[in-house]
Structure 1
Amino acid sequence: MSHPSTRRRLPKVAADLAGLVVFAVCAFPVYWMVNTSLLPRNEIRSADPTWHPFGGTLANYRRVFSGGAFFDALGTSLLVTLATVLIALTFAFLAALAVSRFRFRGRRSFIVTLLLVQMIPVEGLFISQYKMLETMELLNTAVGLTLVYVATVLPFTVWTLRGFVAGVPYELEEAAMVDGCSRFQAFLRVTFPLLSPGLVATGVFGFIQAWNEFTLAVVVMTREDKRTLPLWLSIFTDANRGTDWGAVMAGSTLIAIPVVLFFLAVQGRMVAGLTAGAVKG
């Protein structure tokens, strides 16, 4: 007969094992990408897979950096992505405050419109977006691509931030105003710090979506010298020579690094904001 403490530990052990399995499944594609980026071409094309990069080569990374096109695409992606995140968070934050804190005519219609916009396939807007940017002479510009990205990210960002704003009781601001704060001071000192998890979460979403986006960039950035990083990866695919998988994997590894660094930079603030409380009992 098994000991009661052993029976209590079994569910925890099973949950830990399930977590490890899920982690391994999620991490393996990343490991395979990095592993492939360090292998020579003959091993990549071999029928027998190479499971480790020991004795590999940096030739794939040298091909990525040759010509300087990577750094041009990196600059374009950084500029467009950061501008998209800042603009989308600013407008989404103001819209979320208006929808959550005030009652006005058309409020419900505005919320429903946000959901409907999210349901429209991006591909269905290509022609109208292209014509609009062409008329405004914003094709092949960072400004034009940023406008399109902001329009894509904004509905989800407003909807997400609305939930965070609605979750902060308005009574906290009222209590701060009773203590002598103005309405703006009460919002800045009490409400705004509690909204930091929502701002960080939506900022991460906007950063990843803008950084990895491909289809809209294909429509807006038609010149080779105006490519973003996802578009730049296509130069390693040729109809006659095939795909240079080593360079593709090396480029993909480099593209993933800024996303990882961005998440590492904000995760501390996210955890701190989630664990901080306004009222301690």
Structure 2
Amino acid sequence: MTATDKAVAQAPAARHPVAARDAAASVRARRTKRLGRFGLNSVALALTVLFLFPVYWMFSTSLKSNSQVLVKDPVFFFTPTFEHYSTATGVDLFWTYVRNSLVVTLAAVLLALLVALAAGFAIARLHFRGRRGMVLVVMMAQMAPWEILIIVMYLNARDAQALNSLVTLIVIYFVMALPFTIWTLRGFIAAVPKELEEAALIDGCTRTQAFFRIIFPLLAPGLMATSLFGFIMAWNEYAMVLVLNKAPEMATLPLWLTQFQTNFGNDWGATMAASSLFTVPVLIVFILLQRRVTGGLSAGAVKG
């Protein structure tokens, strides 16, 4: 190539140096963005596998035979068997445990929602002396570890002759779920424009009617989020029922999970089957409500 040809070839680049630099920068930016997206997806995939593998191992172990469970090397390919589920559900008073867990959980969640709706409305809408102090108390109660009160609760229940009672568990779980429920619903109620409520009052509604016709329908995400939180807390709680309810007929499902021990050690197959059955209701509820729950938690945390 002659010097003239080189000059002609280099002329466009010389005439447009800024465009060339911009094009190169755009290519680098796209490459960096692709690499960043790939790295982020890789981390997300690794975390997903990390958190889902124990769940997979629990369900897969529940479907293995005892010989496959106890071998040194893990077995990934096997013929499923449901013998461990028969063992788990064949425990004495199994359906009593199920009934007790449902009664305690649903009653505690319902009570927490009813009281939190009234308290959240009062904090968000009404101006009264001690309002800020009440908010501070709710925050402190939400952060407090309830385990430090187990001995006090046991002594009070014993003195009141309230041991081995589902009502005692309902009251305790209600109190444990109440602070978070109040805090979340307060944020939702505060986020509802006051103009909507005032318009309903002008149209002739009472304050109670305005609440149930205007505010309450807008609280669905918050109600679902707090209901799921209270359900998981009461469904999984172990320490209180272990200390307060010694009678087998007053026990709940968390105590059922501790019964699969033999003279030769733990029956891991039955334990995993029981754990799988215990987990399924929470997973189903969470999958059905996950979108509203995510929105409810974020909105309740930042609004109001």
Calculate the TM-score normalised by the size of structure 2. Answer: 0.80
1:230 CA drift (Å): 0.7
Residues 1:232 and 2:282 are matched in the alignment: no
Tell me which of 141, 147, 161 is aligned to 1:123: 147
Amino acid at match of 1:44: V
Cα distance 1:149–1:270, how it changes in 2: closer, same or farther (>3 A)? closer
> Hey, what does 2:264 align to over in structure 1?
241
Name the SS of the counterpart of 2:258 in structure 1: helix
Shift of 1:19: 2.9
Distance 1:183 1:200 in 2: 24
TM superposition shift of 1:266: 3.7
C-alpha distance after superposition, 1:112-153 (max 9, x if no partner): 222333344323212221122223332112111111111111
Q: Does residue 286 of structure 2 align to residue 259 of structure 1? A: no
Q: Gaps spanning 5+ residues in structure 1: where?
A: 275-281
Q: Does the 8 Å CA contact 1:196/1:270 hold for their aligned counterparts?
A: no
The match for 1:139 among 163, 172, 190 is 163
- For residues 19-50 of structure 1, what are the alpha-carbon distances to aligned partners after superposition, in whole Å with 9 as ceiling and x for unaligned? 33332222111111100111122222221012
Are 1:38 and 2:71 an aligned pair?
A: no
Name the aligned partner's letter for residue 250 of structure 1. A
**Alpha-carbon separation, structure 1, partners of 2:59 and 2:284:** 16
Q: Supply the distance in 2 between the matched residues of 1:158 and 1:241 (Cα, whole angstroms).
A: 48
Residue pairs, 1:151-166, within 5 angstroms: 151-166=175-190
Cα deviation code 1:206-262 (max 9, x no counterpart): 000000000011111111222111111111135x53211111100010011111232
- 1:195 paired with 2:214, answer no
Separation in structure 2 between the aligned mates of residue 8 and residue 175 of structure 1, nearest angstrom: 50
Q: Distance in 2 between matches of 1:109 and 1:202?
A: 23
SS in 1 for 2:71: coil
Rate the CA distance shift 1:113–1:3 in 2: closer, same or farther, 3 A: closer
Structure 2 counterpart SS, 1:139: coil
Q: Relative to structure 1, is the Cα distance of residues 82 and 200 closer, same or farther in structure 2, using a 3 angstrom cutoff?
A: same
Matched, 1:107 2:131: yes
Q: Is residue 80–residue 146 contact of structure 1 (8 Å, CA) maintained in 2?
A: yes
* TM-score for the superposition, normalised by structure 1: 0.86
Cα deviation per residue 1:144-170 (whole Å; 9 max; x = unaligned)? 111111111112221222222222222
Select the structure of larger CA radius of gyration.
2
Mapped to 2, the partners of 1:5 and 1:145 lie a distance apart of: 58
Name the SS for the 1:195 alignment partner: helix
1:81–1:265: structure 2 CA closer, same or farther, 3 Å change rule? same
How many residue pairs are counted as aligned between the two chains?
272
RMSD between aligned alpha carbons? Answer: 2.5
- Helix, strand or coil for the counterpart of 1:103? coil
1:86-121 deviation line (CA, Å, top 9, x unaligned): 011111111111111111111122222223333443
CA distance in 2, matches of 1:157, 1:181: 27
Amino acid corresponding to residue 69 of structure 2 in structure 1: I
8 Å contact kept, 2:61–2:272: yes
Of the structure 1 ranges 215-224 and 128-137, higher mean CA displacement relative to structure 2 is found in 128-137
